[in-house]
Structure 1
């Protein structure tokens, strides 16, 4: 290199009288043996795997009731069952809701029947759950939402003179159909 290419460095500020060198922090531990050049990387200990929810942790009773009740609702919507049969799984206002819904529709049965594709239940309390449903009617896919609760229901007597008894049962308390 020629001296023409090397230029004299000029400082704007005078160089400090003393330089302080701060060591870089170590991010890896020292090797176990001093002679080995291989170091273990510093990593956190492996996490314990989280077990998936056990099938018994899911409330099977809610799921079974919801599946049966939704199938019954779909059959009523298809006019394969009478509306009166909703009374055993739904509160009275649900039957009224479907009575109005079916009266507003055509008087004939729809050509395609509904098929339940997917049902998901999520417990909001021990005695209540939200249910989401995906079902197919013909070529179209529809959705339905429902709420089920455990209610104290007065059961009809087995014989007319016998007293009526009360029983806790799962019931549909709300249904939204798309």
Structure 2
């Protein structure tokens, strides 16, 4: 029997794209960090602040975002997010995990390469 992948909910895809775009804008100092607090776990906010403190050349542009649903039983409660962005002619990768938190999605893991 071939394995079939379940499509992620549209709300997860929209959240992932929006959240990653906002993370990149905070790192580039184009958006205040306070706007990320409702979107992610508190420890991740500190990680993004550390990334923003590093000197950067040029603005980043989010390129591709892929979301893969994680089945938690009867419903999809989490998703893995893979993305790429460019800055100064270089391509960088992002990996993240989003989970249902109450009735909304929330970033719970984030790795920026």
TM-score higher than 0.5 here?
A: yes
Q: For residues 44-72 of structure 1, what are the alpha-carbon distances to aligned partners after superposition, in whole Å with 9 as ceiling and x for unaligned? A: xxxxxxxxx9xxx5421110010100100
Paired residue for 1:75, among 16, 25, 28? 25
CA contact (8 A) 1:84 1:95 kept: no
Q: For residues 91-136 of structure 1, what are the alpha-carbon distances to aligned partners after superposition, in whole Å with 9 as ceiling and x for unaligned? A: 1111111122323x13xxx342111111110011201000000111
Between the aligned partners of 2:8 and 2:35, the Cα distance in structure 1 is 28
Unaligned 5+ residue runs, structure 1? 1-52, 153-167
CA contact (8 A) 1:146 1:175 kept: yes
Structure 1 segments of 4+ aligned residues over 2 angstroms from their partners? 100-103
Between the aligned partners of 2:59 and 2:50, the Cα distance in structure 1 is 20
- Is residue 102 of structure 1 aligned with residue 17 of structure 2? no
Whichever structure has more strand as a proportion of its residues is 2
Q: Report the secondary structure of 1:112's partner residue.
A: coil
Query: Map of 1:24-173 to 2, 5 A cutoff?
Result: 57-103=7-53, 105-106=54-55, 110-125=56-71, 126-152=76-102, 168-173=103-108
Give the 3 Å change call, closer, same or farther, for CA 128–58 of structure 1 in structure 2. closer
Whichever structure has more helix as a proportion of its residues is 2
Between the aligned partners of 1:66 and 1:177, the Cα distance in structure 2 is 14
Q: Report the secondary structure of 2:36's partner residue.
A: helix
**Bigger mean CA deviation after superposition, 128-137 or 57-66:** 57-66
CA RMSD of aligned residues (A): 1.5
Q: Report the secondary structure of 2:99's partner residue.
A: strand
